[in-house]
Structure 1
Amino acid sequence: MLLNGDIISTLSVLYVEDSKTTRESMSILLRNKFKTVFVASDGEEGLFLCKKNRNDINIIITDVNMPKLSGIEMVRELRKIDINVPVIFTSAYTDSDLLLGVMELGITDYLVKPFSIPNLFIRIEHIFEEIHYQHLALRQEKELYQYLELLNKVAIVSKTDTKGKILFVNDIFCEVSGYKKGELLGKSHNIVRHPDMGKDIYENLWQTILSGNIWKGKVKNRTKNGDAYHVNATILPIYDENEKIIGFIGIRFLITEDEDDKLEFRKKVAKHIKFSKENEITLLDEIRELKEQINKQNIIIDNLKNSSNF
């Protein structure tokens, strides 16, 4: 979405006004600014146009008091069918009960006649700037949720409070550590700490994350039955709306300390197996040829015996 003065030129508006003079003059001004302008003379016509063009109308500017169907009644009907575009009410009155009814419908703005046309456009720009940033925040939140969902499927994830008490662990955490969730929740995270890990490493970790920074490093942990496992860990602070640290989230990926050695060993084993199989095939071929030669020799010997007996 474009920002500032470019917003209005991309929008379509429904303008509802029962005064012919006001409606005609305002329509000219609106058409000079908006992409498309739908004009209605009362709430009933406005309701019809909005239903007909519900996918095209971005904002509604409507008078409150009108014949056939008031602006409030029109918007109430629109809300019933989930048409929730922003609405700006205009009225010559500032009755408190009227304003209360308007607020209950979730109206975006309210202007008292006569109002400044430039002020109207400024308010519309602000409305759509706010909508733009709300959509942006929702998209970022959705992307973050999808990212966390992906991590939850491939990584060892846990969440703690500021004292290190476990508040959440995912299934992979339980699978690797050998603990059930009930055995972990509420416990200190050092339940999986391996005694080989020095205190200085954890002192550095806590100092880093309590300062609001991200800690990364290799960690040796211990399973429930005492086996060791190694992880590449990333620990991030979690903040509340006041930018206060309220906990930490840990994201870890399994590694092996001697992964390179194991990889070389596996290569050597595979090469040896391949060499052995090749030798086995060669040996079997040689045995097969030898058997064929022996059979041929036996046939010749049998023929010679038969000839001499004859």
Structure 2
Amino acid sequence: MINKDFLKKLTILYVEDEELAREKLAKTLKRLFKTVYLAPNGMEGYLQFQKLHLAKTPVDLVLSDINMPKMSGIEMLEQIRELDSEVPFIFTTARSESENLLKAIELKANHYILKPIDTEDVILKSQEVCLKKYYERMLTLKNEELEKYLNAIDNIAVVLKFDENGDIKFANSAMIESLEKKEEEITNTNIRELIHKDISKDMIDDIFTTLLEKRQFKGELKFQNIKEEPFYTNNNIFEIEENEKSLFISIGFLSTEENLEKREFKRKVIKNIQEHKELLAKVKKEKEEIQIKLRKYENILPMLKNELELEKKKSQAKLQQIKHYENEKLNSNEKQDGILKIKNSQIDDYKEAMARTKKEKDLLLEKIHHLEEDILAKKVDIEKKEETIEVKNKRILDLQDVIKHRESQLRELDPKALLS
């Protein structure tokens, strides 16, 4: 199956002296490949490759005819191999010539295709050789990366390899230096003899039980050097296969008192920052809740003021009506006693209504007064909270400066300590 996404990443050089055949196949190649360079003979093909090589433009594949004027495909391949010994190469030829094919194999040609050319066959074989080269290059890069990691580990970690009985097969330079022994003294030793005598036999047996059950061990181990002085390592121990044999590899990082102090300091600072962040979030939430309540009160206050104005208007209307009734009473001496009593009763009712209105008015004024005091108190509380937030923010910034200053001091004292 043609992998179009992969082919679109590739650059190809196609060399063919027959113009019609070259242009026909080139149309297909240009649709599939990222870039296609063309040449009409071996000499032009070599010069094109040389130009790209000097410009550091990688060519992922050379597709070329064998029999061409000026310079044959075999001669061109010889010249190209002096510039690049690995670039994939596919020949197209009208006849199978054993001498040419043997020479092509000698020059590390990857394939040859007989004419007339099957376009799909060309694409598939081009993809095949380029994928092989791609995987080889990725493997090389991974191996180089692994080698760098191993070198880095060798510089900062202590490494031991041992078998299921605990017999040591390898110790890296950091472990040899920590134990203060010669390499041959360590490789002829059982790991149990290197572990500090304070560590119980049951604990060591538990570690081996874990490993033999195909599980990984993670934890701190206490070793002793030739002077029986202890040193601690944070270890990862797991099974590996080497030369078709199962071994266990222990990769540990030294835990010095200074490193432990640094880690504890960082842990406390981080915890302190987290606590301050949580407090800040809590204060912020409280502030938002107070602001919501304040907005609610601010919305209610105009409503209460409107109600008060309305009650004032009603009271004034009732007072005017009372005055009207009082005037009618004074000017209506001839009215019947019954009517007078009714009016007096109505006046009493209105007076009671007025008293209730006044009482409601006083209650509303008192409620407004309390609300205004509450709003003022909330505003003061918000200001205090904002001041608290500013203080906490300053403390967090100060703590961060202390951390940076402390780390700077630690780098000056021991740059390698920060890696642990």
Q: TM-score, normalised by structure 2?
A: 0.54
Q: CA deviation at 1:117?
A: 0.8
Are 1:253 and 2:253 an aligned pair? Answer: yes
Contact 1:235 1:248 in 2 (8 A): yes
Are 1:119 and 2:121 an aligned pair? Answer: yes
Higher relative contact order (CA 8 A, sep 6+): 1
CA RMSD of aligned residues (A): 2.9
Equivalent residue runs for 1:60-79 within 5 Å: 60-79=62-81
Equivalent residue runs for 1:196-211 within 5 Å: 196-211=198-213
Matches of 1:240 and 1:192 in 2, distance apart? 23
Please give the per-residue CA displacement for 1:248-275, whole angstroms capped at 9, x wherever unaligned: 3211223379x68xx89xxxxxxxxxxx
Q: CA deviation at 1:176?
A: 2.2
**Unaligned regions of 5+ residues in structure 1, if any?**
265-310
Provide the residue aligned with 2:3 in structure 1. Answer: 4
Matches of 1:145 and 1:230 in 2, distance apart? 26
Q: CA deviation at 1:78?
A: 0.8
Provide the residue aligned with 2:234 in structure 1. Answer: 232
SS where residue 26 of structure 1 aligns?
Answer: helix
Contact 1:159 1:168 in 2 (8 A): yes
Q: CA deviation at 1:64?
A: 1.6
Q: CA deviation at 1:150?
A: 2.1
Count residues with an aligned counterpart. 258
Matches of 1:74 and 1:6 in 2, distance apart? 30
User: Stretches of 4+ moved more than 4 A in 1?
Assistant: none
Please give the per-residue CA displacement for 1:195-235, whole angstroms capped at 9, x wherever unaligned: 33333333333343345442222222222122333322211
Are residues 164 and 79 of structure 1, via their aligned partners in 2, closer, same or farther at CA, if it must alter by over 3 Å? farther
Write the letter of the residue equivalent to 2:48. Answer: L
Provide the residue aligned with 1:15 in structure 2. Answer: 14
Are residues 236 and 142 of structure 1, via their aligned partners in 2, closer, same or farther at CA, if it must alter by over 3 Å? farther
Percentage identity across paired residues of the two chains: 32
Matches of 2:174 and 2:105 in 1, distance apart? 49
Provide the residue aligned with 1:190 in structure 2. Answer: 192
Provide the residue aligned with 1:286 in structure 2. Answer: none
Are 1:220 and 2:201 an aligned pair? Answer: no
Equivalent residue runs for 1:21-32 within 5 Å: 21-32=20-31
Matches of 2:164 and 2:69 in 1, distance apart? 62
Provide the residue aligned with 1:38 in structure 2. Answer: 37
Are residues 36 and 173 of structure 1, via their aligned partners in 2, closer, same or farther at CA, if it must alter by over 3 Å? closer
Q: CA deviation at 1:245?
A: 4.3
Matches of 1:31 and 1:220 in 2, distance apart? 65
Contact 2:61 2:130 in 1 (8 A): no
SS where residue 62 of structure 2 aligns?
Answer: strand
Write the letter of the residue equivalent to 2:66. Answer: V
Provide the residue aligned with 1:173 in structure 2. Answer: 175
Contact 1:43 1:74 in 2 (8 A): yes
**Unaligned regions of 5+ residues in structure 2, if any?**
266-420
Matches of 2:97 and 2:242 in 1, distance apart? 40
Are residues 81 and 130 of structure 1, via their aligned partners in 2, closer, same or farther at CA, if it must alter by over 3 Å? closer
Provide the residue aligned with 1:108 in structure 2. Answer: 110
Structure with bigger helix share is 2
Please give the per-residue CA displacement for 1:147-181, whole angstroms capped at 9, x wherever unaligned: 22222222222233554333332333223222122
Picking from 137, 144, 147, the partner of 2:146 is 144
Are residues 162 and 117 of structure 1, via their aligned partners in 2, closer, same or farther at CA, if it must alter by over 3 Å? farther
SS where residue 53 of structure 1 aligns?
Answer: helix
Contact 1:232 1:253 in 2 (8 A): yes
Q: CA deviation at 1:51?
A: 0.7
Matches of 1:164 and 1:65 in 2, distance apart? 65
Contact 1:78 1:84 in 2 (8 A): no
Contact 2:4 2:32 in 1 (8 A): no
Matches of 2:20 and 2:256 in 1, distance apart? 81
Q: CA deviation at 1:60?
A: 0.8
SS where residue 74 of structure 1 aligns?
Answer: helix
Write the letter of the residue equivalent to 2:250. Answer: G
Write the letter of the residue equivalent to 1:105. Answer: L
Write the letter of the residue equivalent to 1:160. Answer: F
Are 1:89 and 2:91 an aligned pair? Answer: yes
Q: TM-score, normalised by structure 1?
A: 0.72
SS where residue 8 of structure 2 aligns?
Answer: helix
Matches of 1:147 and 1:217 in 2, distance apart? 22
Matches of 1:164 and 1:98 in 2, distance apart? 59
SS where residue 114 of structure 1 aligns?
Answer: coil
Contact 1:212 1:245 in 2 (8 A): no
Q: CA deviation at 1:192?
A: 0.7
Are residues 122 and 208 of structure 1, via their aligned partners in 2, closer, same or farther at CA, if it must alter by over 3 Å? farther
Provide the residue aligned with 1:157 in structure 2. Answer: 159
